[in-house]
Amino acid sequence: MNCPRCQAKVVFTKRICENCGQDLTNYHHIVSMSNQYYNQALEQANVRDLSGAVVSLRRSLEFNKRNTNARNLLGLIYYEEGEVVSALSEWVISKNFQDQYNDADHYISEVQANPNKLDVYNQTIKKYNSALYSAKHGDEDMAIIQLKKVVGMNPNFIRASQLLALLYMATDRRDNKIRAKRLLLKIQKVDVTNTRTIQYLNELKDVHVKGDEVPRKVAEVKPPEPKKVLPKVETDAYKTITPYKEEKPSVLPFINVIVGVVIGMALMGFLIMPHINASRSKQENSAFKKYSEEKAAKDSDVSSLKEQVAELEKENSELKEENKELQGGSEGGESMKDSYEDFIAAIEAFQNGDKESAAKSLEKVNPAVLSSDTAKEIYDKIKEKTFAEMSEVVFKEGRDAYNGEGEYAGNRDFEKAIELLEKALSYNEENTDAMYFLGRCYQQQSDAEQAKKYYNQIINDYPTSKRVSEAKSRLRELGE
């Protein structure tokens, strides 16, 4: 907590500012009331009582206008209701009160990261204002057309949906009233306690849409109609008088078809099948012969390759022995060679003014293999001139990954941030900024033990660092 007079950091339990002597009793009460209304708004927002949450958050900000958590939540509720301009206004004010470590940065970046979406919001506001003007001047049809487009582009824009429903209700047409009720029921899911929505729904309580319970009407019971009885007619009264007699079906055509099929199958078995079987056998024999020849050729190639492998392994062993003799029997000869190559590359980069490349090359060097005192002095000099600066460069990149800024705009990558911040510490183990943000990364990932480790390291090993007060504050958040 900050003192309202001198803005110095003050522990919340203190009743008097140790820096300027300001009495903080009333200020404690004001801050507590603001936080109480903020917590009430959180509970209301969780049950979709957005209108009630807005009232609670405004009261919270009346007590403490610097309550950035309440202001950020108010912006989120405005954004959910389609009021993008109001949401951005609240987040910008919050950013002015708390420039660093403010979630408003992330919200503003999310909105501004997609220019097309931002343009859609801008178009919805313009069309809504135009529709409102048309409705006020009696052009309801044009207002309805424009509001349909607004609701299509931003379905959560509550004010636009309410105005469209009101225009539907004013037409006195049943189909439009059904549309109005469907629209109001849809936006009621966004804000369940919006008084205007509830008032309009009460006006439409007699209108039933699909899904509403409709009272069943009792069907009137009609007496059964008497059955009509046709007069009895004798069976032979309407027989056709003709000399034609129907011909009885013959079985011979069916027998002829069966005989033809049997003869065809017999001819195919005696004449065609032997030819097909002979052709198939010839193809199988040819394929087997080809396979045998290919297998024999492959076996020969495999045997030859095995001999070549054995010769190469023998030659490799001899070369290793020769290489060991040339290196004087030193098992670390390859490591020493690589270290000197990286050391020379670091010297050349440093002479050319490329400190970043010099630091990266020097990092690969094993100082234990540098035999001469001159080489060690040059190593220490380049390390002193480059590692601290390189640590700051890598730290800034890791901070951007944590905050979702720079090349990571709109995407907070904690894993990448941890990798870069640990790299910064490898260059400069006294970089308390890197330690603090490592603690923040692990805190965001709910790894309290790792976060406490870095916060305690700052407090215990670097008590004069500017990050000490922030580390203590974070430890209190973690219950220590």
**135-150 mean pLDDT:** 87
- With respect to residue 15, please indicate whether it lies within any of the assigned structural domains: no
* Domain at 349, CATH number: 1.25.40.10
Sign of the torsion formed by the C-alpha atoms of 46, 47, 48 and 49 = negative
Q: How confident is the model at residue 210 (pLDDT cuts 50, 70, 90)?
A: low
pLDDT tens for residues 184-194? 888 888 888 88
pLDDT in tens, 338-351: 777 777 877 877 77
Same domain, 349 and 440: yes
Q: Give the pLDDT confidence of 308-322 residue by residue, as tens digits.
A: 777 777 877 776 765
Out of 65-79, 141-155, 372-386, 418-432, which region has the weakest mean confidence (pLDDT)? 372-386
**Cα–Cα distance for residue pair 329/321, rounded to 1 Å:** 9
**Whether 467 and 343 share a structural domain:** yes
354, 437: one domain: yes
Query: What is the rounded average pLDDT of the residues 34-56?
Result: 89
Read off the pLDDT of each residue in 67-85 and give the average, rounded to a whole number.
Answer: 87
Whether residue 128 sits in one domain with residue 107:
no
- The answer on 144 and 98 residing in a single domain is no
Same domain for 99 and 157, yes or no, is no
Residues 81 and 192 in one domain: no
CA distance 431 to 415: 19
Tell me whether residue 379 is in a domain: yes
Reply yes or no on whether the pLDDT at 238 is more than 70: no
Q: Specify whether 411 is located in the same domain as 453.
A: yes
81 in the same domain as 153:
no
User: How many domains does the chain contain in total?
Assistant: 3
Whether residues 166 and 81 share a domain: the answer is: no
Domain of 189 in residue numbering reads as 118-203
In a domain? residue 299: no
Domain boundary among 176, 203, 230: 203
Average pLDDT over residues 166-176: 84
341: in domain: yes
Quote the distance between the C-alpha of residue 353 and its chain's center: 42
Of 60, 85, 113, which marks where a domain is finished? 113
Instruction: Identify the CA nearest to 204 among candidates 173, 235, 229.
Output: 173
pLDDT at site 329:
40
Please report whether residue 214 resides in a domain.
Answer: no
Is 125 inside a domain boundary?
Answer: yes
Is residue 304 domain-resident?
A: no
Report DSSP state, residue 270: I
Residue 181, domain member (yes or no)? yes
Whether residues 51 and 149 share a domain: the answer is no
Do 86 and 137 sit in the same domain of this protein? no
Is a pLDDT exceeding 50 seen at residue 470?
yes
**Chosen domain end from 66, 98, 113:** 113
DSSP string covering 104-158, please?
HHHHHHHHHT-HHHHHHHHHHHHHHHHHHHHHHTT-HHHHHHHHHHHHHH-TT-H
